[in-house]
Amino acid sequence: MPLEYHAAVLHEVETPMTVETVTATELRGDDVLVRIKAAGLCHTDLEVITGSLRYPLPIVLGHEAAGIVEALGPQARALAVGDHVILSWNPHCGHCFYCDRNQPILCETYLAHGPGAVAFDGTTRARLADGRDLKQLMFLGAFSEYAIVAAHQAIVVPRDIPFDRACLIGCGVMTGVGAALNIAEIGWGDTVMVIGCGAVGLAAVQGAGLAGAGAIIAVDLDPAKLDLAAKVGATHRVDARAVDAAAIARAQTGGRGADVVLEAAGSPAGFRLSAEAVRPGGEIIWLGKTDIADDVALRWGSLMGEKRIRRSSYGGARPARDFPLLAQSYLDGTLRLDELISRRIRLDEINEGFAALRRGETIRSVVMF
């Protein structure tokens, strides 16, 4: 008897998801069946709902999740039923051109199958009641009671970390903390600016602190987000509607500008500000994204002076290494995750959860199963 379970299905862009009974395929190869316990609503999911990020439909969104291993496929190794896991959205083959060069985020198999929203072997793992294939966003599809993932996407973490906190590590926290620790070259005492203080930006603020930054300038358009940034370690809060954030970076640094700027707003204004606010020779890391068909204009002069720009996905994640470390940092009190959860919701409240994210009311709503 195939497994039946509830999933939130997006059939058309800009329409509400519907919670439906869907059917899992049999476990193949190194598949693992994970019972999802908590899944965060990330801005990237919203971009699929609005259509600015284009994926085949019908699809189950959700790519920031934690759960319990429920069953193992015939070749799944190194996991046991009952393990508590955080799920990675970057499965990678381990032996292609890019995997060999330590860039799993560019893995050829990952990039070949990601846009099709299928599993890592190129086929789907769930069906709608009428028998049609159901796509899964970013090799996960976590707005769902169960997800079938490749074994190496399921990273075992300590059982003490609650699932709602753990799930955040799977995308927003890994991206923001990782960008500061794995990608940017933040030196001891550096001045770091973080533009956009959603979950990704609040994680980047904390990553900058862990990397030894001196001043951490948080920039947002929303005072409530800036309050949270201050709670998790920002030393300066800048409302970009009221003041020139680049001028503040210069005033802090003898006129030079910030040593490192992390953009986590996903806004053309944010990308422009990043180039204006960084010092000559400094480093800009873009984490946010806008519609891939958009043009983003930058003042040419703001790019001069040996500035380095890098667009980065997933914070240089090596999930098997980083997820347990991040989970332990939470348990040790050096990484703050409680502050990132604005609401805990049920799966059938997911459309309201995304409406709240659109209105900018929430950092993370987390679906609790």
Ligand X SMILES: NC(=O)c1ccc[n+]([C@@H]2O[C@H](COP(=O)([O-])OP(=O)(O)OC[C@H]3O[C@@H](n4cnc5c(N)ncnc54)[C@H](O)[C@@H]3O)[C@@H](O)[C@H]2O)c1
Region of 113-121, 171-179, 241-249, 271-279 interacting with Zn ion (CB under 5 A): 171-179
Region of 20-28, 70-78, 258-266, 294-302 interacting with ligand X (CB under 6 A): 258-266
Region of 68-76, 167-175, 204-212, 324-332 interacting with ligand X (CB under 6 A): 167-175
- Matching residue, tokens 């994210």: 357
CB atoms within 10 A of CB 33: 23
Which residue intervals of the chain are DSSP H helices? Answer: 43-50, 97-100, 108-113, 163-168, 174-178, 199-210, 223-231, 245-252, 268-277, 300-303, 319-332, 350-358
Q: How far is CA 352 from CA 145, 162, 291, in A?
A: 19, 24, 23
Q: Which one, 44 or 362, has the nearer CB to Zn ion?
A: 44
Shortest Å distance, C-beta 35 to ligand X: 24
Backbone angles phi, psi at 106, to 5 degrees: -110, 10
What DSSP state is assigned to residue 153?
A: G
Shortest Å distance, C-beta 270 to ligand X: 5
Question: Residue 189, SS3?
Answer: coil
The DSSP result for 337-352, as a single string, is: -GGGEEEEE-GGGHHH
Region of 25-33, 79-87, 130-138, 282-290 interacting with ligand X (CB under 6 A): 282-290
Answer yes or no whether residue 87 interacts with Zn ion by CB under 5 A.
no
Binding residue (CB under 6 A) for ligand X from 91, 172, 319, 353: 172
Parallel/antiparallel/unpaired status of strands 146-150 and 59-60? unpaired
Shortest Å distance, C-beta 124 to ligand X: 24
Binding residue (CB under 5 A) for Zn ion from 37, 84, 92, 135: 92
Answer yes or no whether residue 354 interacts with ligand X by CB under 6 A.
no
- Contacts to ligand X by CB under 6 A: 42-44, 47, 171-172, 175, 195-201, 219-222, 225, 240, 264-267, 269-270, 287-289, 312-314, 360
